[in-house]
Amino acid sequence: MSKNEFQKREMRERRVPDGSQGEAPNVTLNIPKKGAEMTPMDAARAALKEVFGYDDFRPGQEDAVAAILRGRDVMAVMPTGAGKSICYQIPALVLEGVTLVVSPLISLMRDQVFALLQNGVRAAYLNSSLTPRQYALALENARRGTYKIIYVAPERLLTDSFLSFAKGAKIAQVVVDEAHCVSQWGQDFRPGYLQIAPFLRELPRRPRLSAFTATATQAVRADIVRLLELQNPYDILTGFDRPNLFFEVRRAKDRDAELRRFLAEHRGQSGVVYCGTRKGVEEVTAMLNDCGVDAVGYHAGMADELRAKAQEDFVADRAPVIVATNAFGMGIDKSNVSFVVHYNMPKDLESYYQEAGRAGRDGEDAVCCLLYQPGDVRLNTFLIDHAQDMSQMDEQTRQVVTARAKERLRQMTFYATGGGCLRAKILQYFGEKVEKPFCGNCSGCMAREEERDVSRQAGQIVAAVIAMNGRYGKATVARVLSGQADARLRERGLDKLSAFGSMKAEGEANVRAMIDELIAGDVLTVTEGDYPLLREGAYARDVLRGDMPIRMALLPTDAAPEIKRRVKQKEFVNKALYSRLSDLRKQIAMDQNVPPFIIFTNATLRDMAAKAPRTRAQMLRVAGVGEGKMQRYGDAFLREIAAYEEDEA
């Protein structure tokens, strides 16, 4: 990071923690006094509109807000992008006293606090990024009741200074963000989270407590309730479906070419390309740069400054594409991510859905594309068998953990290769009731017309490969199954096999096509060398038992069925105005050294371009424009719209 940039960053961090400085006007909400007519829920709805600029709650939000306002503990599982923050930020505004939010990451806290200040809410964070002086100052302000919301790192809770503040403060509620960090079952276990319950016990009066996470598995949920000592929590489990995401699997012989093709189809958009390894990140970044794509790389092995710079360039829309390992993502609050491509298949659907779910958080249409090759299964199996973090476990535990990991991998592979509706598979995996078996908005559904269930035929092929002892290649197996006897075949007695001619009806070409698909799905594998032989793959037994449904598109077999994506035509009322508004946003963002989406999201700009407001009252009707943003930017954008209309006239 250059010195200049470093200073800017410093300034930003200095400005953020102290909501009393800077331009943040106080929000004047009509918080109901006792005896007033406005109910707390009325106040909550008013806050949604006035502070955040939204007309309606999203599913789950209203329930969460209402439960917190009633004084209940809350346990909320909501997928990424569902809008968890508002669930506790609105009660924070309505309730008397201060809200404490325990959060695992500095970057997450900084973004949240910054967004709140932009909306005119006094907020601050307390973590290790502050100097001792800044920290003391922020605590001093907190004591004076300056803030409505304080984000705090879990490790701070039991320190003397924080505890003495907390004991004397009027705490409206305590919120635990990314609550799965408390569980050792979760991927992000953070020992500091175990201090939350002891902290609450230290307080003279226990405030209401709510826990938020996007991780849905039973074991993690049970841990959250137990370890945070939630009291009879009100459960919120919103649907995991993300209707605006298009899911797509591309089986790519040449991943680089496929990735380039994908990026060409999404030129001008911003997105993430996840790679399985650091080396992969570097190679793919270099490959893209060679082809003139503005991509930056990101992985945990990079120097801190370089990594921070890559992230900032991506978030600020200076670099449209970031190529990253799974180290990238948590805590990155960029809403206008239009696509997430997985260059390699992840080890399970939890990881996949979490990473893919970073697309389209602004509610705009976005694409999640998985590039798949059979080698992915082998790599992941190897990684599971050689996992470092299992060396501490006893043999029996290790076996259980390995078996679970392999089952998850099996499900992931089934997602990539099995055909059928991708969305339905995801929802089923997360234990959700699937309303319709076909969503019509994924590559599985798009390819469906050409597909049929070939589970039985697949089983026949596997059986033949086993009967032939893995000693023959693809062509011979296909000839045997389709009953094409020749001298060589007879000589070896292959025409006497019960499999001989059992798939005559399919024809040799289709049998070959099916074999190719089964190889792609690691149901079968081929040996290396000049005469590749067909053998059982990892999932051969599942197919033989009929445990793994297989669907595929047959004939025409060359040219993989072109995916006919239904591109929903966006209602684009005024492109020219939108682009002017977008330029203005970029300017303001640069002046303030914040990412553009912090000023307004794309969805807000689009709505603004559509409505083209002329008055402040009209401006407030744009989704995403609340009082705070109106005061800050409303006039500038109104002027821009007026100037545009004048130019047009």
Map residues 287-306 to x or -, x wherever contact with ligand ADP holds by CB under 6 A: --------------------
Nearer to Zn ion, 198 or 243 (CB): 243
Q: How many residues bind ligand ADP (CB under 6 A)?
A: 18
Q: Please give the residues from 60 up to 99 whose contact with ligand ADP meets the rule CB under 6 A.
A: 61, 78, 80-86
The runs of H, that is alpha helices, within 388-473 are: 395-417, 422-429, 443-446, 455-467
* Alpha carbon distance 337, 311 (integer Å): 13
Tokens of 196: 């939350």
Nearer to Zn ion, 375 or 437 (CB): 437
Which amino acid, 347?
A: K
Beta-strand pair 149-152/271-274:
unpaired
421 contacts which partner out of Zn ion, ligand ADP, none, CB within 5 to 8 A by kind?
Answer: Zn ion
**Of 302, 288, 296, 343, which Cα lies nearest the Cα of 315?**
296
User: By CB under 5 A, which span of 75-83, 144-152, 415-423, 585-593 interacts with Zn ion?
Assistant: 415-423
Contacts 24+ apart (CB under 8 A), 558-565: 560/251, 561/447, 561/450, 563/248, 563/250, 563/443, 563/446, 563/447, 564/446, 565/246, 565/248, 565/443, 565/446
Q: Which of 439, 447, 463, 524 touches Zn ion by CB under 5 A? A: 439
Query: CA of 207: how far to CAs of 43, 537, 541, 582, 616, in Å?
Result: 20, 55, 54, 43, 39
* CA distances for 39 relative to 29, 56, 68, 93, 150, angstroms: 13, 17, 14, 14, 25
How far, CA to CA in Å, does 640 sit from each of 500, 576, 611? Answer: 75, 12, 14
Indicate whether 57 belongs to the interface with ligand ADP (CB under 6 A). Answer: yes
What is the secondary structure of 190-231 as a DSSP string? -GGGGGHHHHHHHSSSPPEEEEEES---HHHHHHHHHHTT--
> What residues have CB less than 8 Å from 620, skipping those under 6 apart?
53, 626, 627, 630, 634
Question: Does residue number 249 form part of the binding site for Zn ion (CB under 5 A)?
Answer: no
Nearer to ligand ADP, 123 or 533 (CB): 123
Number of neighbouring beta carbons within 10 Å of residue 11 = 11
Q: Which stretch binds ligand ADP (CB under 6 A): 54-62, 284-292, 481-489, 529-537?
A: 54-62
Bridge partner residues of 247 (DSSP): 368, 442
Minimum CB–partner distance for residue 83 and Zn ion (Å): 24
Beta carbons within 10 angstroms of residue 549's beta carbon = 15
By rule CB under 5 A, what string of x and - marks binding of each residue 482-521 to Zn ion?
Answer: ----------------------------------------
Min dist. Cβ of residue 89 to ligand ADP (A): 8
Strands 123-126, 74-77: pairing kind? unpaired
Count of residues of this chain found to bind Zn ion when the rule CB under 5 A is applied: 5
CA 374 from chain center: how many Å?
A: 24
Residue nearest to ligand ADP (CB): 83
Angle formed by the axes of helices 508-520 and 455-467, nearest 10°: 90
Pairing of the two strands 321-324 and 295-298: parallel
Segment near Zn ion (CB under 5 A); pick from 48-56, 65-73, 421-429, 590-598: 421-429
Instruction: Sketch the per residue contact string, 306 through 335, with ligand ADP: x for CB under 6 A, - otherwise.
Output: ---------------------------x-x
Q: Which is nearer to ligand ADP, 56 or 385 (CB)?
A: 56
Residue 492 binding: pick among Zn ion, ligand ADP, none (C-beta 5-8 Å cut-off by kind): none
Q: How far is Cα 29 from Cα 26, in angstroms, rounded to an integer?
A: 9
Q: Which stretch binds ligand ADP (CB under 6 A): 55-63, 313-321, 557-565, 633-641?
A: 55-63
In angstroms, the CA 8 to CA 138 distance is: 20
**Identified binder of Zn ion from the candidate list 309, 423, 479, 512, rule CB under 5 A:** 423
How far apart are alpha carbons 406 and 381 in whole angstroms? 7
Nearest approach in angstroms of CB 364 to ligand ADP is 10
- Which lies closer to ligand ADP via its Cβ, residue 61 or residue 502? 61
**DSSP code of residue 450:** G
* Residue 173 amino acid letter: Q
With CB under 5 to 8 Å by kind, the binding choice for 445 among Zn ion, ligand ADP, none is Zn ion
Shortest separation between residue 350's beta carbon and ligand ADP, angstroms: 16
With contacts defined by CB under 5 A, name the span among 15-23, 96-104, 356-364, 422-430 that binds Zn ion: 422-430
Residues numbered 459 to 478 that lie near ligand ADP (CB under 6 A) are none
Picked from Zn ion, ligand ADP, none, the partner binding residue 335 (CB below 5 to 8 A depending on kind) is: ligand ADP
Under rule CB under 5 A, residue 445 binds Zn ion: yes
Work out whether 105 is an interface residue with ligand ADP (CB under 6 A).
no
Whether residue 540 contacts residue 475, with contact meaning beta carbons closer than 8 Å, is answered with no
Q: Which of 69, 421, 538, 608 binds Zn ion (CB under 5 A)?
A: 421
Q: Within positions 344 to 403, which residues make up the interface with ligand ADP, using CB under 6 A?
A: 361-362
Task: Report the partner that residue 439 touches, choosing among Zn ion, ligand ADP, none (CB closer than 5 to 8 A by kind).
Answer: Zn ion
> CB under 5 to 8 A by kind: which of Zn ion, ligand ADP, none does 85 bind?
ligand ADP
Q: Which residues bind ligand ADP (CB under 6 A)?
A: 54, 56-58, 61, 78, 80-86, 333, 335, 361-362, 601
Q: Which residues bind Zn ion (CB under 5 A)?
A: 421, 423, 439, 442, 445
